[in-house]
């Protein structure tokens, strides 16, 4: 049957309002809402037009929804106050579709399911234990993206300038999904955000959605603390600290790949400097105009996800195998490319030459022309 929720997701990702979709269809936005809520089923001609307007094959509207099981978490999402509902919906859909790509590739086993850390430890201790489990010890994390991918975290990319955060995450049916907002902020901020999302999944995987919303500020601080100690382990960091001046802070940034502001705060939190010294460093950073763009930011490259693109390419090695993969995932080809950090036209050229947007073969149940109007579900 026609999946109204899928219509809503595609419309949102295509950055189109219900009214903008309704006008060229010659219907009201209320009718579009009824389609999306499953209260009405559109006629075949309406489905054809929607497919054309949204640049997708008709069959994408018929993908069944998957169920969330008890191993799923809420969406760990920052910037809850100053980010629009539309952008928040986009980022949540991206995570859900990332899971669908993994499911279509039959890559749903994950070592994260067996990862266990003593819950009685403090947050800094948990971060330290995880680094030890992963064989990093007290050393800097050279590449945060690669580290997460090696250990089974699935990282997808989006480009939402209106989203004032670098990443969000969710555990879906036991599978950890992280969505990076492409090229927002700086490379070092993105690294910290990835460590922050890792902290949420380690610390808060059992938190209910309503509880996360109520305790958002508290839980954000906990994830922030985890990220701080994961990237700046106390023992390793102490050894690199000398009497702290801004020149030394820049030197530390080069080694640990963490922002000057975060380094100064970490020094205060660990007792290496006092509050007045930390305030002095932050004032210096502010007066130099370094709050948004610091020294060395132009030297660090964004760490780009690799695993999801390779997974997609290994599955879709030619036209036939891509079409087989597409029939499982039923997502817009350009969105698959974007989520998996693949170049434009990796798959869209194959798809555009293989489907007729007006083809309704296999969907004869939509031929409701004898009813004379859209069919009530």
In tens, the pLDDT along 136-150 reads 988 999 999 999 999
Average pLDDT over residues 14-36: 95
Query: Does position 179 have pLDDT exceeding 50, yes or no?
Result: yes
274-293 pLDDT per residue, tens: 898 889 888 988 998 898 89
| 266 CB-contact burial (10 Å; exposed 0-12 / middle 13-18 / buried 19+) | buried
**Distance of CA 210 to CAs 207, 220, 294, Å?**
8, 15, 37
* Percentage of the chain exceeding pLDDT 90: 49
Band (171; pLDDT cuts 50, 70, 90): very high
| CA distances for 152 relative to 37, 146, 205, 271, angstroms | 35, 10, 16, 35
pLDDT at 225: 95
- Can you read off the two tokens belonging to residue 236? 């390793």
For residue 370, pLDDT over 50 is answered with no
Could you tell me which residues come within 8 angstroms of residue 54 by beta carbon, excluding any fewer than 6 positions away?
10, 11, 14, 16, 21, 332
- The predicted pLDDT at position 113 comes to 65
Are 357 and 48 in contact by the 8 Å Cβ rule? The answer is yes
Q: Are 118 and 278 in contact (CB under 8 A)?
A: no
**pLDDT greater than 50 at residue 159:** yes
Q: How far apart (Å, rounded) are the C-alpha atoms in residues 311 and 315?
A: 6
- Which residues are bridge partners to 102 per DSSP? none
Q: Sorting pLDDT into bands at 50, 70 and 90, what band is 354?
A: low
Mean pLDDT of 96-103: 94
Evaluated on CA atoms 75, 80, 85, 87, the torsion sign reads negative
Mean pLDDT of 262-270: 90
Surface-to-core class of residue 96, CB atoms within 10 Å of its CB (0-12 exposed, 13-18 middle, 19+ buried): middle
DSSP assignment letter at 172 = E
- Measured in whole angstroms, the distance separating CA 95 from the mean position of its chain's CA atoms is 5
Low-confidence winner among 3-7, 111-115, 323-327, 330-334 (lowest mean pLDDT) = 111-115
Per the DSSP assignment, residues forming a β-bridge with 158 are 181
Give the pLDDT confidence of 180-223 residue by residue, as tens digits.
988 677 899 999 999 999 999 999 988 888 888 888 889 999 99
Using DSSP bridges, classify how beta strands 154-158 and 76-77 pair: parallel, antiparallel or unpaired: unpaired
How many residues can be counted in the chain? Answer: 377
pLDDT band at 271 (very low <50, low <70, confident <90, very high): confident
User: Which residue is it, tokens 């800097």?
Assistant: 140
Average pLDDT over residues 349-372: 45
pLDDT band, residue 363 (cuts 50/70/90): very low
Mean pLDDT of the chain: 85
pLDDT tier at 166 (50, 70, 90 boundaries)? Answer: confident
Highest mean pLDDT: which of 244-248, 295-299, 315-319?
295-299
* Mean per-residue pLDDT, 87-112: 85
Query: How far is it between the farthest Cα atoms of the chain?
Result: 83
> pLDDT digit string (tens) for 233-257?
877 666 555 556 778 888 889 999 9
100: nearest Cα among 157, 182, 175, 207: 175
Q: What is the mean pLDDT of residues 299-325?
A: 89
**Between 110 and 201, residue with greater pLDDT:** 201
Per the CB < 8 A criterion, the answer to whether 346 and 337 are in contact is yes
Residue 259, pLDDT score: 93
Q: What is the value of pTM for the model shown?
A: 0.85
Per-residue pLDDT at 198: 95
Q: What is the dihedral of CA 187, 97, 198, 314, to 10 degrees?
A: -80
Report the percent of the chain where pLDDT is more than 70. Answer: 86
* pLDDT at residue 239, rounded to an integer: 55
Q: Taking Cα atoms as reference points, which of 44, 57, 61, 60 lies closest to residue 357?
A: 57
Alpha helix positions (H), 204-306: 209-214, 216-231, 234-239, 246-256, 260-269, 275-287
């Amino acid at each position: 049957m026609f999946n109204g929720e899928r219509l809503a997701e595609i419309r949102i990702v295509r950055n189109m309002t219900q009214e903008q979709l309704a006008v060229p269809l010659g219907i009201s936005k209320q009718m579009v809402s009824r389609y999306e809520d499953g209260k009405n089923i559109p006629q075949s001609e309406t489905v054809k037009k929607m497919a054309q307007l949204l640049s997708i094959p008709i069959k994408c509207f018929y993908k069944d929804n998957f169920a969330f099981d008890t191993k799923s978490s809420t969406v760990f999402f920052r910037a809850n106050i100053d980010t629009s509902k539309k952008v928040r919906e986009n980022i949540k859909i991206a995570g859900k579709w990332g899971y669908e790509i993994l499911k279509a590739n039959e890559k749903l086993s994950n070592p994260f399911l067996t990862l266990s850390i003593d819950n009685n430890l403090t947050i800094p201790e948990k971060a330290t234990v995880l680094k030890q489990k992963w064989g990093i010890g007290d050393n800097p994390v050279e590449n945060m993206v690669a580290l997460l991918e090696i250990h089974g975290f699935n990282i997808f990319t989006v480009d939402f300038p209106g989203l004032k955060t670098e990443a969000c995450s969710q555990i879906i049916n036991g599978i950890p999904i992280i969505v990076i907002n492409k090229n927002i902020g700086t490379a070092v901020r993105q690294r910290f955000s990835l460590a922050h999302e890792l902290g949420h999944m380690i610390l808060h995987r059992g938190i209910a959605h309503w509880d996360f919303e109520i305790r958002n500020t508290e839980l954000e601080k906990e994830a922030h603390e985890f990220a701080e100690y994961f990237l700046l382990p106390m023992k390793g960091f102490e050894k690199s600290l000398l009497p702290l001046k801004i020149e030394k802070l820049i030197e530390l940034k080069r080694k640990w790949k963490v922002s000057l502001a975060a380094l100064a705060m970490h020094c205060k939190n660990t007792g290496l400097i006092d509050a007045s010294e930390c305030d002095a460093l932050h004032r210096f950073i502010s007066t130099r105009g370094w709050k948004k763009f610091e020294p060395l930011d132009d030297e660090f490259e964004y760490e780009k996800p690799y695993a999801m693109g390779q997974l997609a390419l290994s599955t879709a090695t030619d036209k036939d195998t891509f079409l087989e993969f597409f029939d499982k995932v039923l997502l817009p080809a350009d969105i698959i490319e974007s989520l998996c950090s693949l170049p434009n036209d990796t798959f869209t050229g194959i798809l555009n030459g293989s489907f007729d947007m007006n083809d309704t073969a296999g969907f004869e149940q939509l031929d409701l022309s004898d009813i004379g109007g859209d069919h009530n579900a």
